[in-house]
Structure 1
């Protein structure tokens, strides 16, 4: 226990909430020196939770840290991305939008990178000067969507996966049922890749004084490039060793450290507060009115306890949203989503909770990297939907995958006997695939799909025929979603916060309060419920692939899923 407590003392930190108009430090009338903002990792919407804290930096923290630097007194802002920065295109869009909110000529923004990617070029376009590490590389080469198929592998152990889908473009189960994409899936993947690439080029050209489309096309043909070639190709302004770059920064230099604070252990009250935060989670509530930013990321599934960044469970998510209905301090809500979907029933329950909340106070949805299928099911409950240009969204449709393991049992010499009291009592058992099973599942899939399409038509004010033409599992980018009236516009967090509070008739900026709240040690150890069944405490320890365990469990049950294949690609970089 002493060792555990000592570890907690070193790792548990309290991070204060941010305001919509976060203020910088010092006298804003005196502009000297520079402030350095170091961003690392892939900047997920929600950092993954481990025993004593979150692992890595979240997109929210990175955005607010950058805003604070821009509002400081320094003449120059240095964006240091030379230490393992690997954020995807949507995250770079968010950061670039933050940079473009600054007053023209107010500050110079210099960016230094160790590696430059297509996503990084989005952020570079918003900077006044871009420096590539002398030993760095530029890999600006376009979009490649990679899919893996395992039907042959499953067949080698006697398993045959059968899929029932709501349309030919609902291709998520093809990774189990085929060894290559279907013709419809191939067409959809090509259109999606082209749509993302168009968005990447458009974003890279925005305010870019170094590069034009012809130059970018030529640079892609030479990828990968050393720093010297990247300078000659006008991808960056110059090359320099990061250490030398730091030494030559204008003085004084202020490092933005994220404002981590050690807990107060000098008094009994401080000790009790620390112990409460450790076991139950931190309370960063503000006294006055706030805009709640609800961040939901991961696979959607039934269960009582979500794991932020990994799973979105209907139990605690619905409870949180219902609590916000009666929370008088919360005047409006921004619902941020980064999910490729999951369980149909859980998606529906969360959708209904969002609608109950929106009836009491305005809910504005912001889609991040991916918000497709079950994610769109939830998001369309908001009164307005905003996206990034490279967001992957839509995929309106449903599927179920049922594995037939009779070949495996025959191979192993295992014989099964069933005593049933009804003709369909063993319908979803381990029996071989048959027409009766296919008919029953088709009925469920069609019913859920019609409900999904009906909700989209109602919430987006489209006709049934319009939604039907967009459904069947078709995916699209953020720009395409706006064209198809599935989204209302391109935006970013602070703009959405502004829209939400204005919809609630609040003209002045308000503090932002993030949800779900930081979980305590008890929840991290799985002592207060689980999203993965009775063995959740084990399956949620670091290193165990939670989403694979959960998905395998659901596929074996043959339940309807609303999941997009695009969620398997990972962020576009």
Structure 2
């Protein structure tokens, strides 16, 4: 009886604590809403941007700040950042931008859009100061557009060229006696190579050299244009390992000078006509967004902007990092059936995933296209399944360094029988009512007949995928077959091949949509709608926080953890996705 009461009161206490926490959160949200002060930007402001800040497609809210009204209110999404920089270019209260360049958390196409917005700001007659202690290549790519690029006197600048590395798991699987039974279509479909090879195949090496060269050419071209140095000279610097110190970077004119932080601050003060004791009116990106959100809520004609970011999966999921078919079918259908929505811009930033889920999303977009224009804007990736859900669009925009294509499919069904028996001492047995009732089980190797069944399914899916591209891009079957084969292309290559229509960013895609519906003025309605405050707090206390903790704990090994996790999730499903993780540095 004593133990019963101990359990009873412990449970009761837990319920009280949870209930009290919920009330506190609710009151905090209500209080923060009522007490929220309008942010006003005072004159002589300097907008502060950081290349280390990761820009997702949509705004990422800091749930704790919603309760406390302290700290950063969140990170604006990429489109928000672009609009804010463009707005700042015309804002008399913003005199310039201070760009902090410690590390870079974004992909190639994201950095390109970010850099393009900075170039427009500079072209409007305003100044940009970039400063960093140690600049990575991607940080410098963004920083090089600035009027002044300064480096710490004892810091460094990475300028050694690009390198792409693949992690191969075949040896590990062999040691564990795990047999990955692999089925794929496409000579260049290298997504399964980490499981079946110990080094890159010749085909994969060809395609990687090709798109890596395109990305590097774009990198050198942009820097060369800004720094007034020809690309051949820049390439020679990298090839010779000429940049080994901050002094080298200054001597070869990659930076404008070597400065300590206080010296950069003094120069900015001079630019603003401030004295040495005056404080610079630095404006954070989140505060600038809070002060200008009303500017993006005008007019009646609407263009739907649907963000599709992450792996493509089947079913329903509210996770922000995945594109679940059920959820996105509802979002697209809502935009399609809304008479106020005149056009749809589908923003794709995805390496692909489930082929079946991709087909389902493709179908709903095809229906939408019958009612109104559908324009695709590609981010860092729109490959394999990401291209599958893009190919039907009226027009497709990509950045020069977007990775796309990868038109091919595969399936993996692991045989874990030896692993369980020899490593764990576990065996399996059972009965079945038909010969293939246990098709796909991981406890035994597949028979030749079963392998033919799976390969036939992969072949059929690949054929359908190519047909979608043929019909969507108005290309012949022979042409699509030649440029498919699972091969990854850069945005520039994809445009030359007819897989993409235009080189441009998200704003270009929206402008195209507005032109197609003759909308002189319009407002953008974004999907999915941002999560509410309480929902965001609860989610952060659950799966999102757990993922963040794992990522923090594993550090650089997190990518390998994600790769192994993905193998488990794709067991038996036909996949249309890019090679596991393309790591470029």
TM-score, normalised with respect to structure 2: 0.81
User: Counterparts of 2:523 and 2:153 in 1: how far apart (Å)?
Assistant: 41
The match for 2:576 is 562
Kept in 2: contact 1:138–1:224 (CA 8 A): yes
How far 1:540 moved relative to its partner?
Answer: 6.6
- 1:239-280 CA-partner distances (Å, limit 9, x unpaired): 2223332243233754333455999xxxxxxxxxxxxxxxxx
Which structure exhibits the higher relative contact order, with contacts defined as CA atoms closer than 8 Å and separated by 6 or more residues? Answer: 1
- Tell me the secondary structure at the aligned position of residue 44 of structure 1: coil
- Tell me the secondary structure at the aligned position of residue 549 of structure 2: coil
- Tell me the secondary structure at the aligned position of residue 389 of structure 2: helix
**Partner of residue 427 from structure 1, selected from 432, 436, 439:** 439
The match for 1:307 is 319
The match for 2:483 is 470
How far 1:13 moved relative to its partner?
Answer: 8.5
User: Counterparts of 2:547 and 2:96 in 1: how far apart (Å)?
Assistant: 39
The match for 1:402 is 413
- Judged with a 3 Å threshold, the aligned counterparts in structure 2 of structure 1 residues 385 and 560 are, in CA distance, closer, same or farther, namely same
- Judged with a 3 Å threshold, the aligned counterparts in structure 2 of structure 1 residues 327 and 524 are, in CA distance, closer, same or farther, namely farther
The match for 1:158 is 177
User: Counterparts of 2:192 and 2:507 in 1: how far apart (Å)?
Assistant: 37
Task: Work out whether 1:516 is the aligned partner of 2:528.
Answer: yes
Task: Work out whether 1:113 is the aligned partner of 2:132.
Answer: yes
- Judged with a 3 Å threshold, the aligned counterparts in structure 2 of structure 1 residues 136 and 329 are, in CA distance, closer, same or farther, namely farther
Task: Work out whether 1:289 is the aligned partner of 2:301.
Answer: yes
Kept in 1: contact 2:59–2:77 (CA 8 A): yes
How far 1:174 moved relative to its partner?
Answer: 1.4
Kept in 2: contact 1:46–1:297 (CA 8 A): no
Q: Aligned ranges for residues 19-98 of structure 1 at < 5 Å?
A: 33=44, 35-39=46-50, 40-46=52-58, 56-73=75-92, 76-82=95-101, 84-98=103-117
How far 1:183 moved relative to its partner?
Answer: 2.3
- Further displaced range: 215-224 or 182-191: 215-224
How far 1:208 moved relative to its partner?
Answer: 2.0
- Judged with a 3 Å threshold, the aligned counterparts in structure 2 of structure 1 residues 479 and 133 are, in CA distance, closer, same or farther, namely same
Give the number of the structure whose alpha-carbon radius of gyration is greater. 2
Structure 2 gap ranges (5+):
1-18, 34-39, 67-72, 275-279, 291-295, 552-560
Kept in 1: contact 2:61–2:75 (CA 8 A): no
How far 1:190 moved relative to its partner?
Answer: 2.1
Task: Work out whether 1:456 is the aligned partner of 2:456.
Answer: no
User: Counterparts of 2:420 and 2:211 in 1: how far apart (Å)?
Assistant: 40
**Partner of residue 549 from structure 2, selected from 539, 543, 567:** 543
- Judged with a 3 Å threshold, the aligned counterparts in structure 2 of structure 1 residues 347 and 114 are, in CA distance, closer, same or farther, namely farther
Task: Work out whether 1:380 is the aligned partner of 2:391.
Answer: yes
- Tell me the secondary structure at the aligned position of residue 189 of structure 1: helix
- 1:57-95 CA-partner distances (Å, limit 9, x unpaired): 532333233222212115842232245544332122102
TM-score, normalised with respect to structure 1: 0.83
The match for 1:214 is 232
Is the helix fraction higher in 1 or 2?
A: 2
Task: Work out whether 1:493 is the aligned partner of 2:499.
Answer: no
User: Counterparts of 1:330 and 1:517 in 2: how far apart (Å)?
Assistant: 15
The match for 2:346 is 335
User: Counterparts of 1:169 and 1:217 in 2: how far apart (Å)?
Assistant: 28
The match for 1:481 is 494
Structure 1 gap ranges (5+):
15-23, 27-31, 264-283, 528-535
Kept in 2: contact 1:334–1:364 (CA 8 A): yes
User: Counterparts of 1:358 and 1:147 in 2: how far apart (Å)?
Assistant: 38
- Judged with a 3 Å threshold, the aligned counterparts in structure 2 of structure 1 residues 285 and 344 are, in CA distance, closer, same or farther, namely farther
- Judged with a 3 Å threshold, the aligned counterparts in structure 2 of structure 1 residues 455 and 539 are, in CA distance, closer, same or farther, namely farther
The match for 1:357 is 368
User: Counterparts of 1:82 and 1:113 in 2: how far apart (Å)?
Assistant: 5
User: Counterparts of 1:262 and 1:469 in 2: how far apart (Å)?
Assistant: 46
User: Counterparts of 1:539 and 1:421 in 2: how far apart (Å)?
Assistant: 45
The match for 1:246 is 265
- Further displaced range: 421-430 or 369-378: 421-430
- Report the aligned-residue RMSD: 3.3
- Judged with a 3 Å threshold, the aligned counterparts in structure 2 of structure 1 residues 82 and 189 are, in CA distance, closer, same or farther, namely closer
- 1:471-519 CA-partner distances (Å, limit 9, x unpaired): 11111111100111100121012222111111111023x3333221122
How far 1:12 moved relative to its partner?
Answer: 11
User: Counterparts of 1:178 and 1:526 in 2: how far apart (Å)?
Assistant: 39
- Judged with a 3 Å threshold, the aligned counterparts in structure 2 of structure 1 residues 107 and 5 are, in CA distance, closer, same or farther, namely farther
Kept in 1: contact 2:307–2:528 (CA 8 A): yes
How far 1:444 moved relative to its partner?
Answer: 0.4
- Judged with a 3 Å threshold, the aligned counterparts in structure 2 of structure 1 residues 446 and 51 are, in CA distance, closer, same or farther, namely farther
